[in-house]
Amino acid sequence: MKPEQTKQARYERLYEQLSLLLQKSPNLEAQMATVCAVIYHKISYVFWAGFYLVYDQNNLYVGPYQGPLACQELTWPKGVCWSAILNNEAVIVEDVNKFPGHIACDSRSKSEIVIPLTNPVTKKPAGVFDVDSTLYSAFDQYDLEGLRKILALLRYEIR
């Protein structure tokens, strides 16, 4: 089986698992925590998986996550997370050390993928789903497609 087929199959299994798990609680925070736990524990190259949520126009604060200690606050407009929000599109970073303004919450992180979340009612940015790896170039379009599908299970619009 080709590597991309393996990734696609893994994400399909995770989607099916999360579809069932997320039905057990109507609480969005519990659902977000569940998504983080499954992604963190089921994908070997994931070092950190979590949400940063919009607090006000200048700050993102860490929400549910799995992995080592996170930055508690990300101040506008620096970093990959703010880039995803400001451009309203997902960002895949092959080498975080080459990303202008990257915020190093943990120096072991080498690559990341960030997907913006939009409030479906207000159409305003709600936050991001951020996944880091200790490997360079760990994430690709197959990760993006798989994560978007999983995040669509939550009450956000996904870009």
Domain of 53, in residue numbers: 3-158
Q: What is the number of domains present in the chain?
A: 1
Q: Is the pLDDT of residue 20 over 70?
A: yes
For 92, the enclosing helix (H) or strand (E) is strand 91-93
Break the chain down into helix, strand, coil percent, rounded to 5: 35, 25, 35
Going by pLDDT thresholds of 50, 70 and 90, the confidence category of residue 106 is confident
13: tokens are 């299994």
pLDDT > 70? residue 2: no
Alpha carbons 18 and 16: distance in angstroms, whole number = 6
- Comparing C-alpha atoms, which of 150, 113, 151 is closest to residue 132? 113
